[in-house]
Amino acid sequence: MSPAPAPTPHEPGAEPPAYLTARDVAAMLQLSAKSVFRLAAADATMPQLRLGGSVRFPRERLLRWLRAREGGPVAPARPSP
């Protein structure tokens, strides 16, 4: 009997990947991958790693970057009529 394959980074229970693809970031933010690339091009402070023609986003730095950009107070929920 052969051993079970190791879980891939995207499987439940697996350690999250250190670097995310634009598609991973897009799914997390509910955007298109094209929008993620536009954001990265428009804001040089967005953490990204370019390797040749590939772009990866360092997960922990990206999460910190996003938290720093969360804006303003959240309005209290309105009671139902």
Q: What is the pLDDT of residues 1-47, one digit of tens each?
A: 555 554 455 667 788 899 999 999 999 999 999 999 999 999 999 99
DSSP code of residue 52: T
| pLDDT band at 53; cut points 50, 70, 90 | very high
CA distance 36 to 27: 10
Q: What residues have CB less than 8 Å from 18, skipping those under 6 apart?
A: 58, 59, 60
